[in-house]
Amino acid sequence: MTTLSEAYRNAPVASHQITPLDFDSLDRVPESHIWSQSDEPQQNIQSQEPQELSIPVIDLTDPNALDLIGQACKTWGIFQVINHGVPLALIKKVESESRRLFGLPTDEKHKVLRSANGATGYGTARISPFFDKCMWHEGFTIMGSCVEDANVLWPHDYKNFCETMDAYQNEMKLLTHKLLHLMLQTLNLTQEEMNWAISAQDSQAALQLNSYPSCPNPSNAIGLAPHTDSLLLTVLHQGGANGLEIFVEGLGWSPVNPVDGAFVVNIGDLLHILSNATFQAVNHRAMVNQAKQRISVAYFHGPPVESVVAPSSSFENPCFRSMLVKEFISLKAKNFHKALSMIRK
Ligand SMILES: O=C(O)CCC(=O)C(=O)O
Ligand SMILES: [Fe+2]
């Protein structure tokens, strides 16, 4: 079985583009991290006046949840979810363990630096090579067990970290299945297509811990540059701090304000393809602030990488050609935002 991390092996990232800035004791933003203004709305690093977007906050126990979710996927490609069943104490623990990791001295974190053709460990965002400027961000990627890296970081005390990340990944798996079940019911899929997206034996997942250190000049910096997520679905815990923004045609960049205890759910490229572009793959980014470090935790869920992704057979006019999931992952890793248009019919 090919795994997600093996699928990334075909698209190595140059070693010098993997190491995040040493953010400790910086009192100004270095030239390498200064993003300039652009007239192009998508590239504009400043947010417009905050727009009151009506991105829904959906209660999973609401009898109308199905309709609300279907509507949100079609209109926005993103929504927030409450009463999701994930214990708040576990979410807080994941956040505090993430802070413990990113709070380690730089040379300690470098011991678990992602390798050039690796997918897990400490490092910059995978999309970094597509931008001239660097991001005000450091990340840690987990796929399955994190014992190997945690054991390097805390030889005598790695259990807390691993048990927390394992428990959280289990909860995320249940939640993504529950959410996909609701989302896909609005699409008339065959049972086989449902199984492929939700619970196939070799389905793949990744947990991405993100840290955005406090920034001396946030209006010149960017935490995570604009992108769409590549897999089917992302469930994001964004702590209590603002930073996540989505791009809405005609409105520009608008914040997704954190709601206590809620997860942000967003559609990735593969679900956009399966839904024949009925569900939006939302373009999003993360901004930084001067006051404090922001932590976010993203869980990405995808189908088996050896399987085929295509628009559902319920669509008479498929607008994407079919391909292996691993081919799409590699296409995206090499061509970034052009990948979807490259497979359009
Ligand atoms: O930190 C955030 O709010 C967004 C994170 C994100 O988009 C990602 O990890 O793909
Ligand atoms: Fe993302």
For the segment 232-261, what is each residue's pLDDT rounded down to a tens digit? 999 999 988 999 999 998 888 999 999 999
What DSSP designation does 60 have?
Answer: T
**Range(s) of the domain holding residue 9:** 4-27+54-342
CATH number of residue 338's parent domain: 2.60.120.330
Residue 339 in this model has a pLDDT that exceeds 70: yes
Does residue 37 lie within any of the structural domains?
A: no
281/86 Cα distance (integer angstroms) = 25
Does residue 69 lie within any of the structural domains?
A: yes
Does residue 304 lie within any of the structural domains?
A: yes
Class of residue 155 by CB neighbours under 10 A (exposed 0-12, middle 13-18, buried 19+): exposed
pLDDT digits (tens, 9 = 90+) for 256-290: 999 999 999 999 999 999 999 999 999 999 999 99
Q: Could you give the residue numbers annotated as active site?
A: 294
Does residue 208 lie within any of the structural domains?
A: yes
Does residue 33 lie within any of the structural domains?
A: no
Does residue 326 lie within any of the structural domains?
A: yes
Query: Of the residues 137, 235, 247, 296, which should be mutated to test ligand 1's pocket, given the most ligand atoms within 8 Å of the CB?
Result: 296
166/152 Cα distance (integer angstroms) = 17
% the chain with pLDDT above 70:
98
Does residue 285 lie within any of the structural domains?
A: yes
- Residue whose tokens read 């628009």: 311
Over residues 3-11, mean pLDDT: 84
Atom 3 (ligand 1) nearest CA: 244
Segments of 143-219 assigned E as strands:
204-212
Question: How many angstroms does the Cα of residue 296 sit away from the middle of ligand 1?
Answer: 7
145/295 Cα distance (integer angstroms) = 21
Class of residue 9 by CB neighbours under 10 A (exposed 0-12, middle 13-18, buried 19+): middle
Number of domains in the chain: 1
Does residue 148 lie within any of the structural domains?
A: yes
pLDDT digits (tens, 9 = 90+) for 178-211: 999 999 999 989 999 999 999 778 889 999 999 9
Cα-based torsion angle of the residue sequence 152, 14, 9, 271 in order, rounded to the nearest 10 degrees: 100
* Residue 244 Cα: closest atom of ligand 1: 3
Residue 72 in this model has a pLDDT that exceeds 80: yes
**Ligand 1 pocket, Cβ-based, cut-off 6 angstroms:** 208, 210, 224, 229, 236, 238, 243-244, 284, 286, 296, 298
